[in-house]
Amino acid sequence: MTAQTLDRVLTCSRIGDPSGKYPIFDATGSKFYPGRWNTPASPMIYASEHYSTALLEKLVHGSGRLPPNQHYIAITIPNGVSYETFEPASLPGWDRADCAASKVFGEAWQHSKRSLLLVVPSVVARIEHNILINPEHPEFRRVTTSLHRPVWWDRRLFGER
């Protein structure tokens, strides 16, 4: 893969607990609880292309429980930064439950610092994308975030009326 230059401003969303152990816009949690695309040695910030995809990702990782005190932020990525788009056909097994192939791929991407962003498909919503942000990339300082705002969950998502 080759890094490209973003030709527009990109906004994505992230959900977390502002009173929790780790800040919403921080990669520390990914060191202790690695996701599909990283290992403890390759911290990154997971965000979603859309607010609704961020909700779905939070739901699938919450095992059907209403997550307490969740807030969202809008992340603004300016034009001119580097990005790469992952092509699923290039890595068979990227979506397997054990995440072995995607972890190797993501760790190599994060360590190479070829680009600030890696755009990957969402497993839970295949036509949507998640945005991986490398906090160790030199362009990271150009990323800005909004103030956090509460997430209002529709209790029907959890089987309640």
Higher pLDDT, 29 or 156: 29
Q: What is the mean pLDDT of residues 145-153?
A: 94
Query: Is 159 part of any domain?
Result: no
The pLDDT score that the predictor gives to residue 74 is 98
DSSP character at residue 38? -
In whole angstroms, give the CA distance from residue 103 to residue 84: 16
Predicted confidence band at 160 (pLDDT cuts at 50, 70, 90)? Answer: confident
Q: Is 108 within 8 Å of 40 (Cβ atoms)?
A: no
How do residues 79-128 score in pLDDT, each as one tens digit?
999 999 999 999 999 999 999 999 999 999 999 999 999 999 999 998 99
Query: Is 77 part of any domain?
Result: yes
How do residues 10-52 score in pLDDT, each as one tens digit?
999 999 999 888 889 999 999 999 999 999 999 999 999 999 9
Alpha-carbon separation of residue 101 from 25, 88, 98, 128 (angstroms): 26, 11, 8, 20
Query: Is 160 part of any domain?
Result: no
Tell me: pLDDT of 67 over 80: no
Supply the pTM of this predicted model: 0.93
Domain that holds residue 62: 4-153
Tell me: pLDDT of 149 over 70: yes
Q: Is 113 within 8 Å of 133 (Cβ atoms)?
A: no
Query: Is 108 part of any domain?
Result: yes
Question: Any alpha helices (H) in 36-99, and if so which ranges?
Answer: 51-61
The pLDDT score that the predictor gives to residue 13 is 98
Predicted confidence band at 64 (pLDDT cuts at 50, 70, 90)? Answer: low
Instruction: Please state the domain count of the chain.
Output: 1
